[in-house]
Amino acid sequence: MEQLKGKHALVTGGGRGIGLAIARELLRHGASVTLAGRSEAALDAAVAELSPLGAVRSQRMDVAESASVQHGIAAAAAAAGRIDILVNNAGQAESAAIGKTDDALWARMLAVNLSGVFYCSRAVLPGMLEAGWGRIVNVASTAGLIGYAYTAAYCASKHGVVGLTRAMALEVAAKGVTVNAVCPGFTETDLSREAIANISARTGRSEAEAKAALAAFNPQKRLVQPEEVAHAAVWLCLPASAAMNGQAVAVAGGEVT
């Protein structure tokens, strides 16, 4: 079971939701884990929850700021060793019609969802290449594979993540490092709960009706669970998954992508 014993994984946005679920699964496979994020309270709570499973620590870091990433990655490596596995999970989701998508919203989506993936990946790659082994898993979205109305900035950022994944994968293909993405459909997290509340407020539908509207995108007629995304993400980190490279794996119940 401990196929990742001796490996150090860093998970951005690791204090809650999909990131927390991925961190839990990495620990179960024997990795030591650094949870990175902006909220010290969320990170502290996550560390307390996960500590019984293995070696876990936190690192405050804002993925949208290049200097913060450089400092955070260096501090994490100094504290727990070279980063062998990077899970780029931190992200934000906001919706607006294209005509109401202002410059600030556009910049926020690209800064966190896309630039953050680039900054973190660029920071860990030298160590992975020197070691001749590494795994980068980017948490994208089905919005990185298809379009959704009223989420132009979010879709653009997640399409960018998929493209960046494929480009990086080709650069490192012969060097022992793989780069892949998982693309969840609507998943039961704080982000989806916020989306449900917004739909309910804007349309007058009940929260149950708004949740059903999101679940309808999934042919299984349900929201994906964070643990389901975590299983897919960690599978891509295993030594036996070395042939998986440059892939964008949909975790979406069969939603056409």
pLDDT tens column, 161-170: 999 999 999 9
What's the pLDDT at 80?
97
Phi, psi of 6 (to 5 degrees): 90, -5
Of 43-47, 139-143, 209-213, 219-223, least confident by mean pLDDT is: 209-213
Sorted by where each begins, the domain ranges of the chain are 8-251
Report the topology of domain 8-251.
Rossmann fold (3.40.50)
Residue 40: which of 62, 69, 67, 68 has the closest Cα?
A: 62
Residue 108: which of 97, 120, 95 has the closest Cα?
A: 95
Annotation marks residue 154 as catalytic: yes
- Active-site option among 119, 148, 150, 154: 154
Which tokens hold the place of 180?
């892949």
Residue 237: which of 95, 83, 93, 114 has the closest Cα?
A: 83
Averaged confidence pLDDT in the chain: 94
**Residue count of the chain:** 257
What's the pLDDT at 212?
78
- pLDDT bucket at 174, cuts 50 / 70 / 90: very high
